[in-house]
Each structure stands twice: as structure tokens, then as C-alpha cells.
Amino acid sequence: MFAKTTRAIFFLLGAAAITGTQASAAQPWMNMSLSPDARADLVQAQLTQDEELTLVHGYMGINATWRRFKPIPDAILKMLPGSAGYVPGIPRLGIPALAESDASLGVANGRHMRPGDTATALASSILTTASWNTDLAYAGGAMIGLESRQKGFNVLLAGGIDLAREPRGGRTFEYAGEDPLLAGVMVGEAIRGIQAQHIISTTKHYAVNAQETARTVMSADITEAAMRESDLLAFEIAIEHGNPGAVMCSYNRVNKVYACENDFLLNQVLKQDWGYKGFVLSDWGAVHSTVDSAVNGLDQESAFSFDQADYFGDALKQALADGTVPASRLHDMVHRILRTMFAKGLFDYPMVKQPIDEVADGAVAQRVAEEGIVLLKNDHNLLPLAITTPKPLRIAVIGGNADLGVYSGGGSSQVIPVGNKPSQEILVGGEVVHIAGQPIRLPLDKMVLDPPAPLDAIRAEAPHAQVSFDNGEDAAQAAALAGKSDVVIVFATQWMREGVDVYDLSLLGHQNALIEAVAAANPNTIVVLETGGPVLMPWLDKVGAVVEAWYPGNNGAVALARILFGEVDPSGRLPITFPVAESQLPRPIITGKNPNGSIIATVGTPTVYDVIYNEDANVGYKWFEDQKLTPLFPFGFGLSYTNFAYSGLTASGGKTVSVAFDIQNTGTREGKTTAQVYVKPPYGVARLVGWSKVDLQPGETHHVTLTADPRLLAFFDTDNNVWNVPEGDYTVELGTSATAITATATAHLQTSTIKP
Ligand code: BGC
């Protein structure tokens, strides 16, 4: 929204429209000049009730032997083997099937469901968000949308946006951080990019699905106003920007009611207040009823074999027969699905399978990584490293499987990356770790590393350097290599995956000790973090530089090497607060867990898992301000290799806040920065209302103007179902992070109300 365009990006759609002239008298709905609603009405009028029921009931494209999985008929399996979800079409009317794949980070293929099918692995969503570059979010979305179409999937289960209320949450890497505006805009742009390829994207998991611990039973307990001002606002903004065809309701309960049968979330907020015209599909196994789900707003049961029963199969037919679900509701479900399929181009741009363009797509992934990697510390300009030196630079690369690839997050979003080799898949877990003095056995799983390996990328970037590698298993041996080197790059990792939260924010195993040992042997130590979210850094004072590389995807290691050697200015800024310790979090221990990290065992009503979000809308940096806590690294933080000065801040009020200011590159090299504007209402904490990411040559100045969306300044009034902007003086803060404010101004606002 506020990012300065750096480069225009064009994609071949790889698809030609079936033109309106092909609309025959027999299929008048193929007339593209009609509205999606009119086209849906025309085709829907031809459907029998059984055909309507077909469209609201999904399968999974694999047969599994795990859980309570009910076998998938062969006829269905043959249609799209190895897909996350499949909803048969109606061939006699030319209604295409919905072929669904995960997810936000590329076309997923977890557990090699489709043997040999690799896709370009985009960086984790948290990295894309850290770029604060809307064009890149769009480009990444367009790239994975194109690959999705080329592989035969017309629905991408993308758009994860649950706010990081729990930084230990196992899907923090898959989401977009802690701020509703930043997350909403960036995820919305990614969705817009995906759907530009004439496929449907979801946004998920609606709503307040912030932790994996007990995710299928826990209740997210939170006031309506707080939810509207935080998590729901993120969805609202993403939907406005990206207009996703579908919304995936989540596993958890919200205020004790399952999200997929939650009248408040689905009917009142999404469909009525926001006027959402797309359809609601369930997360895999998130349906718990027939009548309640149907009446309260669920439009399609995904992969029913995951649910306890086949709720939208025969049971829905029976409910229609006995009138407990009105026929008008089934018509509405089907209308929403069909009008979305028309609106997004599924009828008009049929998919033609073709190979992906690995080079072009890899270049997009690299560009995203180049802007989302964050430089957190750089004492005495240790970075960038010189590519050419009088004597070959002796570089020690240590730890983190840096000889194999870069980390990626696990779970349904798992991409098998382009260039994948068996050696890049590592069986992890099984070992016993001690948390709070108690032994815990880590579950077994397979971790996938994305190529190329950082070691190879560093060697390619600095061909004259003398680069040695040590796997870091023996800290003393690694320290000996460090002592004989000019500079040390030590890789530290945290693996996150869906379904389990991380135990705590500490680097696992002996990684902290390894960093301490290496830094003691050589102060020119650069720590590269490959983590899903924040981690604690007890060694921070002892190392020279820290780079947060997240999970940077295919070519992420190339992006990292280009940053380390200064070919690219680091321009990522944190989309999530890094705490000093877990004690700073609203919940020092994840609700539902024992202090030793194991999940509390329960029988009967699982209220022990219910999370009371009494930090309200104060997620992340807002919580830190409210509690007067100083984080390790604040939201919005990140360094560059050049310097910027901000000047001339002016602000005006009225119905909302508008600001203007200048940014100048005062350094000696080209670089990018993200100016951030926060506004503090007359009461409460400051909120991000806009930003501008600029790319400036030395000496160059850019003039920025921003106007805040008034909802970002408002409080939600649940009695009257409106946003209220109270009259008063609002403090405008211009800064380089949530806590580094370089200038302030005041704007006076009149009272106003805004309808949701
Ligand atoms: C995840 C969803 C995913 C679905 C299909 C679920 O377990 O929560 O995000 O889209 O599986 O793979």
C-alpha cells in the first residue's frame, strides 16, 4: 500500500481465456460479459439437489492409513492424486472440479504425496512480510499461483494470517507477524498475486488460531472489541486487498464455539458486516456438526475423511429433507462457490499442465529473500564482507547444516523444493531434551532443506576466499577453526512445523554454547539465524553481527550471500517483536502445556486448553508498550549498510491523520529503508498506520505522504456495531521501529464513526 515501487513485475499467465463467443445457447453461463452472480444463477438453475450437494463436499486426494481416515473412492483418487483437497465438478454442465493444494510458500507436496513433483519454495511468509514490500508480496503470490496452475491446481490454500499472539506457535513462520495492518496488506497482496493467475486463493485460519497446542479443541477467549481491533482487522484488510475467493475457518473454538460453526465469525462479521461474497471452506478436520455448521455459515466441508463424521454428505441431505437446514441455505452455499469460480476465472481459463520455469521462478524467490532478511546487529561494520581482499579472506562457516541447504518449516505447507536431493531431508526428533529440568522426547519428523547450501553460495559469491566448514557438533573443534580464521559465519537454527509449538524460544541443543565458544575464539563472528520466528540470544553482546534469515526458500542462500558480501543492502525489518525472555510474553508458558513443555493431559471438557487473551488487541509491540517492557529487538527493527535521515514531519487531522515527511539517504551507498508511522490515540498505545519502503541513491531524498485508514485509529463499539474515533489529540510518531521514534507531531481529530 505505501511501498514505493521498485520494479514492475510481469508474468505470462500461461492460459488463454475461453471467449464469450464460445457461450452456446446450451451453456449461456459461459458468456463472460455477464456478472459472476448472473452466470452462477444460470448454471445453478440446472443443478439437481444431488449435484448441489456434490459441490459442498470435498475429498482428499490421497488415501492414508493414519487417524480415522475413511477410504477415498478410486474414481475420485484417480482425478487428482496427491492433492490436499478435491471437490468433483459437474461435467455435464462444464463445471470444473476444485483441485486444491497448499499453500502460501509454494505448491506443497508434503511427504512426497506426488513423487518427484518439485516446486519453487518461496521463503516463509514471515520473511515476505519482513520485506514490507507490497510489490514483492504480490510477485511471490503470482509466482506460486502460476506454478499452481501449471501443476493443475485451481485452488491454493494460502493466505495464512493469524496474528502472532504466541511467537512459539508452530506456524509462526507461515503467518505474517503481529500487526493487523502490515499482515493484512502483505497477505492481501500475496492473495491478489495468486488470483491474478485465474485461480482461487483462500485466506486462513479464520480466526484467532494462534497456537498449535491443542489446536483442535482449545477456545480462543477474547472480547469482541479486542478481536475486531486485532485479528479480525487483519483478515478484513487482507480480504479488502486480495479479495480471496474463499476463507478457511479454523480448527479452534472462538469464545467456546467452533470456528466452522460460529455464527458470529461467519455470518455476522464475515458475510454481513464485511459483505463477503466468497465461500467458507473448513480446515481439514475442523467440522463438528451438520446443522450448526450449515446454518451458521460453513459453505463447504473440505476433505470430509478428516472429520469425525461425513457432515455434509448424507447427513446434510437428511437435514434438508427434514427441514433442519433450509434449501435456501444449500442454494446460498452453492451460489457462493459458483460465483467465486466465475469471478476468479476458473470457467474461463481452464488449466493446461505444463512445466514450471525454474529459473524465472527461482529469481522471484531470491528477490523476496533479498528484501526480507533482517540485519539485527553489525558492530564496527563487520558486514558487508569484502569480496576481494589483498590476501584470501579465511572464512569459517560453522553449523546449521550450512553444507546442505536452508531450513524450511514443516507441515501442510511443506514444499519439496526445486533441486531437492535425499541428503537434504533429515529425520529429526527422537532425542531427549531437558526443559525446566524435565526430560522430553522430541517427536520424529522429516525436515526439508532448500537448496542451494549456504556454504556453496558463499563460495560462489567469494571465489577468492578460503572457505572452510565445520558442522559445529564439537564446539571445541569449531572454536579451533574460528581461531584460525579472519571471520566466522555460524549458522543457528530453529525448526518449526505445523501441529506442534516450539518448546521455548531458546535455540535447541548446544547451539548457544557453540556460538559462545566460537565468538570467544574470534570476535569477528557473524551469527546467521534460520528460525521460524523470534529466538533468545544470550550471546548477543559477544558476537559482531547477527542476521535473521528466517526460512529463505529456494535461492535463499544466494540472497543471504549477496547480503553478507554487500551486493544487496539488507532491507528487511522485523514484523514481530523479539523478546528478551519468555517472561515478557503475555503467557510465559503456553496455555495447555506443563512447565516442562508437555501437553496437559485431560479428560472431559478440555477447558485447560482455553486461552484467555486478556492482552486484548495489544498484540506484540503494543503489549510491550502497554507493559513498559524493553524487547531484545523491537517490531520494525532492522539495519542497513547505509544511513537515512528523516525530516520535515507534518501532520494534519480532521477525520483521520495525514502525514508528510522526507527521507534522505545520508550514506555513501545505495540502500533501502522502511519509514514507519505510528499513531497514539488519546488513550491506549501506538499503532502502525502506514509505512514507506524506499530505495535511495546516496544523497537522494524521497517525499512521503500517508493517510491513515481511520479504523486503525478507532475503537470498536460493540453496542452499536461501529468503529468510533474519539475526539482528541493524536500523537504521530515517525520512526525506524516501534521504539526508535525520530520525530513526533500532533493531529487533532473530530469524533467520527465508521461502519464495519
Ligand atoms: C492445515 C491447513 C491446510 C490443510 C490442508 C490443515 O491441517 O491446518 O492449513 O490447508 O491441512 O492440507
Asked whether 215 lines ligand 1 (CB < 6 A), one says no
Cell matching residue 219:
477456545
Q: Once rounded to an integer, what is the mean pLDDT over residues 198-227?
A: 97
Distance in Å, CA 284 to ligand 1 centroid: 6
* pLDDT reported for residue 684: 95
**Looking only at Cα atoms, what is the longest distance across the chain?**
85
Least confident of 9-23, 105-119, 220-234, 564-578: 9-23
> Rounded distance, CA 332 to CA 273, Å?
17
Asked whether 548 lines ligand 1 (CB < 6 A), one says no
* pLDDT reported for residue 606: 75
Q: Once rounded to an integer, what is the mean pLDDT over residues 334-339?
A: 98
> Rounded distance, CA 459 to CA 445, Å?
31
Pocket test for ligand 1, best of 66, 107, 284, 498 (most atoms within 8 A of CB): 284
Asked whether 178 lines ligand 1 (CB < 6 A), one says no
> Rounded distance, CA 350 to CA 353, Å?
10
By three-state DSSP, how is residue 394 classified? strand
The percentage of the chain sitting over the pLDDT mark of 70, rounded to a whole number, equals: 94
* pLDDT reported for residue 12: 35
Asked whether 404 lines ligand 1 (CB < 6 A), one says no
Ligand 1 atom 2, closest CA: 283
> Rounded distance, CA 388 to CA 405, Å?
25
* pLDDT reported for residue 136: 98
Given a cut of 70, whether residue 8 has pLDDT beyond it is no
pLDDT band at 594 (very low <50, low <70, confident <90, very high): confident
Q: Residues 281-298: pLDDT tens digits?
A: 999 999 999 999 999 999
* pLDDT reported for residue 66: 52
Asked whether 539 lines ligand 1 (CB < 6 A), one says no
Given a cut of 70, whether residue 247 has pLDDT beyond it is yes
Given a cut of 90, whether residue 459 has pLDDT beyond it is yes
Closest ligand 1 atom number to CA of residue 103: 10
Asked whether 162 lines ligand 1 (CB < 6 A), one says no
| Residue 441 CA to its chain's centroid (Å) | 29
Q: Once rounded to an integer, what is the mean pLDDT over residues 219-243?
A: 98
Q: Residues 690-739: pLDDT tens digits?
A: 999 999 999 999 999 999 999 999 999 999 999 999 999 999 999 999 99
- Give the number of residues written for the chain: 756
pLDDT band at 177 (very low <50, low <70, confident <90, very high): very high
Closest ligand 1 atom number to CA of residue 110: 12
SS3 content of the chain, % helix, strand, coil (to 5): 30, 25, 50
pLDDT band at 78 (very low <50, low <70, confident <90, very high): confident
Q: Residues 612-643: pLDDT tens digits?
A: 999 999 999 999 999 999 999 999 999 999 99
| Residue 364 CA to its chain's centroid (Å) | 17
The percentage of the chain sitting over the pLDDT mark of 90, rounded to a whole number, equals: 85
The H or E element spanning position 475 is: helix 475-483
According to DSSP, the β-strands at 155-156 and 98-101 are parallel
> Rounded distance, CA 271 to CA 264, Å?
10
Asked whether 206 lines ligand 1 (CB < 6 A), one says no
Q: Once rounded to an integer, what is the mean pLDDT over residues 471-490?
A: 98
> Rounded distance, CA 714 to CA 657, Å?
12
Ligand 1 atom 3, closest CA: 412
* pLDDT reported for residue 20: 44
Among 106, 96, 207, 91, residue whose Cα is nearest residue 151: 106
Average pLDDT taken over every residue of the chain: 93
